[in-house]
Copies of this chain bind each other. A is one copy, B any other.
Amino acid sequence: MDKFKITFLPDNKTVEVEKGITLLSAAISAGIHINSSCGGDGVCGRCKVILKKGQAVSLPTGRISAEERKKGYHLSCLSVAQSDLEVEVPAESRLDSGTLAKDDAHMLRLKGIFSEPEDTDKGDSILGENIFIHSPLASKLYLDLPKPNLEDKISDLERLYRQIRSLQDLPVLQTGLSNIRRLGELLRSSDWKITATLGKRNGTTEIVILEPGDTSKRNFGFAFDIGTTTICGQLIDLNTKKILGTKAAYNKQASYGSDVITRIIFAQGTDGLEKLHHAVIDEMNLMIQELTRENNIDLNDVTCCLCAGNTTMMHLLLRVDPTYIRREPYVPTANFIPVVRAYEAGIKINPRGLLACVPGISSYVGGDITAGVLACGMDKTEKLSLLIDIGTNGEIVLGSKDWLIACAASAGPAFEGSGVTCGMRASRGAIQKVKINPETFEVTYSTILDTPASGVCGSGYIDAIAELLRAGIIDRGGKFDPKLIHRRIREGEYGREFVLAFKEGLGTTVDLIVNEMDIENIKRAKGAIYAASAMLVNHMGFGFNDLEQVYIGGGFGTYVDMPNAIFIGLLPDLPREKFVFVGNSSLVGARQILLSHEAIMDADEIAKKITYFELSVEPGYMDEYMASLFFPHTDLSKFPSVTGKKSSP
């Protein structure tokens, strides 16, 4: 069989592949993750690469313009090599991975709900301690055991149990053979001074790790939010509860499909589940390695991981077949997943360290929502509250301490900066705030960390569309006014577009624009979320005005401009003070559960308490959704403050 060498630039990574293998597959083999929302079906047009040397042949596609074709652009999923190749992967086709700067980490903090203690001098933050008793998933206990003598001859293991029980009330205590095998030598070589890591496992306590000497000061864990589009990982000092670092990266599973349904279908193919599993695990392991290296922490001192994510993400993380999630009656294999050893799922921390997953509610409302409810404290308040978690799936929870109900709406990844032309995750250089002068159409914007703009994040798009509406550049349907002529308005490949930032001085290869396709995407996303919220509130016999508190979660920029979010019809038209932006509430909840056994039990209660409301079979949902496909809505009476303000900037 013929084989070709394909070198990917700018990484300069070369792989040898058999004839007939697509360039997308070759890139994956080379460890380069290319965006591929449609899962390699040639539909989404996100996986463009530029052929620099050699011959390749492609299936026909409408996703490459004539101009692009001249420059050597190919859709990598439709192209196969005819010779050795050199291929460039442009930045816009790339699924990047990156660290949030220290300051960026603050975006992930839950604002406005808890009184946060002042940051320490290291700039780290402490969260959650006001709510739950500090008792992490894995805790270290230093033990100075009395040495055996002829009067005290109980065995080493019983001695260890006795000492632990003299310090903690633990009726069911377990340990494994590998610890027992090391125990005799360990105790004697360490002069009976050892550190036991105690893990909470499904109603029992396990002696997870035994180490010589006192290592109790070095106990670290990871909280993860595994989103369909974005993975966030956070390194926590389990003793001090400090956040030592946070990273976010696109979920590399996007190479195999942009939403959970595409990925479940992909999982059913040959090695599909394995590939999806590795895509997430590899990214998590990379974050773990980088964050521990940056903080000079030994991987063996990382004793546990706590993951929140939607139900499909949890299945893929654990390499559990997600097939039945999308087959009627839509039943996942497990919502409550027992605590397992992290290595069983391929996560590389201490080989005996633990992995716990936040319990989920149903196939389409997962543990990320349980964690979000926990973080917001919705289950503890008398107030009628709504949580809107804006991710690739939008999940909505309504209720109070007495009852909770949730539904899910497929919003797409637009608010996470995916599936939109210049979208990017809310990280360094993302345009997060936009103002457009309604007279001159000139733009002022700010970026995260005030570095040169390299893309637009969710909050930037919300602002941009609100401002385009206010300036009359687009109409309530999202179409550009065809009469306007301005250097920032032009015809692009996907309809008219508005230039937010010209490439000069930015270091990007393209102008940062918003086009009609992007606006359409955002409109559908906000419409799905608004319609779902409305349906859920109405289903329970309430109106939006009955809500006492509305929590907005999601990985936007530093904050979402609530008036603008209302202006475009993403959020209901309620007084500003009812809204609380909670950021990545799933990650906050995961961290709380990592840090407190009380929170673990609380999460179990929440997951059991939440009723799932199936939106797709609900009569009227489609009408509500269609009515929401306007800015802000076809029924303007629902947005009195917007209507009143429409013409003012």
Contacts and interface: CB of A to CB of B under 8 A. Distances in A.
Interface in A303-337: 318-321, 323-324, 328-337
A115 interface: no
A611 B154 CA distance: 11
28 contacts: A148-B331, A149-B329, A150-B328, A152-B329, A153-B329, A153-B362, A153-B363, A155-B334, A156-B332, A156-B333, A157-B336, A158-B335, A172-B202, A172-B203, A174-B201, A174-B338, A175-B338, A177-B318, A177-B320, A177-B345, A180-B333, A180-B337, A180-B338, A181-B319, A181-B321, A184-B333, A185-B321, A185-B323
A340 interface: yes
Contacts of A181: 318-321
Contacts of A149: 329
Contact of A150 (B188, B319, B614): B614
B329 A184 contact: no
Interface in A158-202: 158-159, 171-172, 174-177, 180-181, 183-185, 188, 201-202
What is the copy number of this chain in the assembly? 2
Given A330-B153, A331-B148, A184 B345 contact: no
Given A157-B335, A158-B336, A612-B153, A202 B180 contact: no
A344 interface: yes
Nearest to A319: B181
Interface band, chain A: 35 or more
B204 A155 contact: no
A480 to B, nearest CB: 44
Contacts of A332: 155-156
A99 to B, nearest CB: 30
Contact of A174 (B176, B180, B184, B202): B202
A614 B150 CA distance: 9
Contact of A172 (B150, B204, B319, B617): B204
A208 to B, nearest CB: 13
Contacts of A324: 156, 184, 188
Contacts of A157: 333-337
A203 to B, nearest CB: 4
